[in-house]
Structure 1
Amino acid sequence: MSNPFEDTEATYVVLVNDEGQHSLWPSFAEVPAGWSVVVPETDRQSCLDYINENWTDMRPKSLVEAMATAGQDAP
C-alpha cells in the first residue's frame, strides 16, 4: 500500500490545532481529537499551498507567547 499522505490523486483537508500547527490530512481519515478542519476537501496541492501561505512560523503558539513574555524576538 502506498503512503496516503503522498497520493497526488487523492483528496485532502488541512487541519490546525490549538497551537496553530497545520497538517495535510487524507480526507477519508477521521480528524484526530484536538484538530479542526480549516480547508475542506480539495486536491493535495491546494492544501499544501494553503499551509505554505498560512503556517509561516513553525513554533507552537505557546512557545511564541512564552518568548514574547520573556522579551525575546522571533528567530
Structure 2
Amino acid sequence: MEEEEEEEEEDQTIYTVTVNYEGQYSIWPVDRELPLGWESVGKQGYKQECLEYIKGIWTDMRPPSL
C-alpha cells in the first residue's frame, strides 16, 4: 500500500475527466488523444482531483442501456 501511495504522490500527470455515450466516466491524460467514443467534460487536474470530481457527479454507475 505504501508503494502505491508513493506512486500517486509522484504522478504529476494532468488528466481530463471523460464520459462516453453510456454516461460512464473515466480519466485520461490531457496530452493523449481521447479514445473513440469518449469526450472531455471540461474538468482537468491531477488524478486524485479528477477522481474526486467523478465521485461527486457519477452517483449511479448503471449504464442507461440497462
Task: Tell me, yes or no, if structure 1 residue 45 matches structure 2 residue 45.
Answer: no
Q: Give the conservation status (yes or no) of the 8 Å contact 1:39–1:47.
A: no
Corresponding position of 1:26:
29
Cα deviation for residue 39 of structure 1 reads 3.0
From 36, 54, 57, the equivalent of 1:54 is 57
TM-score, normalised relative to structure 2: 0.74
Unaligned runs of 5+ in 1: 1-5, 64-75
Letter in structure 2 aligned against 1:29: R
2: CA distance, partners of 1:14 / 1:39: 7
1: CA distance, partners of 2:33 / 2:60: 26
> How big is the alpha-carbon RMSD for the aligned residues of Structure 1 and Structure 2?
1.6
Q: Between the two structures, name the one with larger relative contact order (CA 8 Å, sep ≥ 6).
A: 2
Moved over 6 A (4+): none
Unaligned runs of 5+ in 2: 1-7
